[in-house]
Chains A and B, each alone.
Chain A
Amino acid sequence: MSSLDRKTSRNMKWIILFLLPVTVLLISFFLYPIVFLVVLSFMEWNGIEPMSFVGMSNFSSLFSDSIFQTSIKNNLIWAFSAALLQIPLALLIALILAREPRGWKFFRTAFFLPNVISLVALAMMWRAMYNPEFGVVNVLLENIGLGHLARNWLGELDSALPAVIFSYQIYIGYFMVIILAGTISIPKSFYEAAMIDGANVLQQELYITLPVLRGIIVTAGTLAVAFALRQFETTFLMTAGGPANRTPVMGLYMYRRMAGLTYGRAAATGVLLILLGVFVLSGLQRIFGKSDAVGDSVQ
């Protein structure tokens, strides 16, 4: 150990030098923002005059604002639909592709393709598809005889939020790839043994694939929920919170508060957004058990 210690102290200057740039950037862009955000959430500030301490009034005014309440509710709807629609769909598709049907590599690439395109481009594309005059969605519904369902999807109070969420969560490629990567690591011999014992495909999936994939599914679910809570672009570009403030999410609410120069309330929204994330994600971990390390999934 003594030789190791000597080596360490000799290199300590180098080590500090190597760690310095990352440390400076992390302090400026992660640590300082958190501290600043928390402090500012107790202040009133318009960005020009000095800040003044207002205690909890930013938070209490947020909770009495009906648009903020809608934003939190919408964020939770986003998160629920990610967990209940997006992940099961990704799992189903991944399990089908894991059995390597004809052309599975083509399907895998095709299903991942939308994830390479930016959310901005996808949002603009779906806005055109939902367009009441020439949008493909309505034209399609009319052509298959469901013309009575055609509507101004993004303009009507009841259909706007589901339409926005659908346009985002239909893209499962990222989670499909994560789950698919997990299935590939399951030894084929498990299935061979199960088949000799007379287990059908459904039983094989239920008793072999799903238990082995549990950690990965929880990871994918955690990521999907985290993405849903961070939602901004899709809503901002497709409805900007409308119609009649039915679709805002917390990110959009914060953006509006900033644009209105009420930085204190924007900061309070940011604090609540982080807390909501911690709360929901730790709740998920408690219910479903530990996920694999978050980073594992991205490799």
Chain B
Amino acid sequence: MSTLQLTETHPALKAAAKTAKWAMLIVYFVIAVFPIVWLTVSAFKTNFEIETSPFSLPEVWQFQNFVNALSVSGLPQFFMNSIIVAVAATGINLLVTSLASFAVSREQFPGRKIFFTFTTAGVLIPIIAFMVPYYTLITQLRIYDTLLALVVTYSAINIPISMFLVSSFMATIPGELEDSAEIDGCSFFQRYAKIILPLARPGLVTAGTFSFIYCWNEFIYALLLTSSTSSRTVQLAIRFFTSQFRTDYA
């Protein structure tokens, strides 16, 4: 344990422990974060500079790589595709899971617990194992190589995690609010739309963030379920760049 430090009687040991602690932090910082800095700086260098002096700062900070990436490669369209897919899939995902979460966490009905277990158990399944079924399903639905294929798939894949986050958040909202709203004549749907949904915003934001990041970074099913450039996402596009176009896709 590098935070090892003994009592005041051992000042030398204490100093050594402190040094070890900082050495640890700095070494890890260099290994984990330096490559990303290097990548970002390299994006401003010419290929010649990258190959001859990989560590130096660029002689001239030039934006040619970015210009190339944007104009030559069709990157704007891939960005657009990624944004459409991520926004639509996250939207659908939040809509359907908030409906189901409301029913599961705010209502009593037979089979409630089983339904919840069934929906959230999907977290444990390695989604990558579904390559063959998803491919055949999407082909049968005749939406292969469309953005819709990715939207539907991504919104479904994220259901288990979103159900867990949203319904456990909804369960913490006190029931008195709903009771009084019901006395005032609120219908089932109004209780969902006007009372619970606004109050569950933090839960929805968390689930939405997870979903969006997942959709933005997803690679396998984008690779498997699309083929033409018109439905290519950014993650697929990165793969087709060689080292000459380095852009930071954070």
> Which residues of A are in contact with B by a Cβ distance under 8 Å?
4, 7-8, 11-12, 14-15, 18-19, 21-23, 25-26, 28-30, 32-34, 36-37, 40, 47, 89, 92-93, 95-96, 99, 101, 107, 110-111, 113-114, 116-121, 124-126, 128-129, 131, 133-136, 139, 170-173, 198, 200-202, 205-206, 226, 229-230, 232-233, 237, 251, 254-255, 258, 263, 266-267, 270-271, 273-274, 277-278, 281, 294-295, 298-299
Contacts and interface: CB of A to CB of B under 8 A. Distances in A.
* Top 5 A-B pairs, shortest CB-CB distance: A33-B133, A29-B156, A118-B217, A22-B100, A270-B129
A19 B96 CA distance: 8
Interface residues of B, number: 89
B87 interface: no
A95 B1 contact: yes
Contacts of A205: 1, 3
Contacts of B219: 118-120, 232-233
Interface in B104-132: 104, 107-109, 115, 118-120, 122-132
Nearest to A273: B129
Contacts of A278: 124
Contacts of A299: 165, 206
A192 B129 CA distance: 49
A95 B3 CA distance: 8
Contacts of A202: 1, 3-5
A15 B35 contact: no
Interface string B23-54: 01100110111011011000000000011101
Nearest to B10: A200
Contact of A200 (B5, B50, B210): B5
B155 interface: yes
Contact of B156 (A25, A92, A281): A25
A171 B36 CA distance: 12
A126 B238 contact: no
A267 B3 CA distance: 49
A239 B141 CA distance: 34
A92 B115 CA distance: 39
B13 to A, nearest CB: 10
A15 B1 contact: no
A14 B126 contact: no
B6 interface: yes
Contacts of A226: 124, 126
Contacts of A29: 130, 134, 137, 153, 156-157, 159
A29 B32 CA distance: 36
B78 interface: no
B250 A37 contact: no
B3 A134 contact: no
13 contacts: A30-B125, A33-B133, A93-B24, A96-B3, A107-B25, A111-B28, A129-B38, A134-B54, A139-B54, A237-B239, A255-B131, A255-B224, A267-B132
Given A21-B99, A96-B25, A226-B126, 4 more contacts: A30-B156, A120-B217, A201-B1, A266-B132
A97 to B, nearest CB: 8
Contact of B21 (A21, A101, A116, A263): A101
B133 A117 contact: no
B36 A113 contact: yes
B31 A96 contact: no
A206 to B, nearest CB: 8
Nearest to B7: A200
Nearest to A22: B100
Contacts of B224: 255, 258
Contacts of A107: 25, 29
A117 B249 contact: yes
Contact of A270 (B3, B33, B131, B250): B131
Given A22-B100, A295-B161, A120 B238 contact: yes
A204 B135 CA distance: 53
Interface string B206-250: 100010010011011000100000000001001101010010111
Contacts of B36: 113-114, 117, 125
B142 to A, nearest CB: 15
A252 to B, nearest CB: 10
B31 A263 contact: no
A28 B115 CA distance: 16
B121 to A, nearest CB: 9
Nearest to B28: A93
B85 interface: no
Contacts of A89: 28
B50 A134 contact: yes
Contacts of B136: 36, 47
Nearest to A293: B164
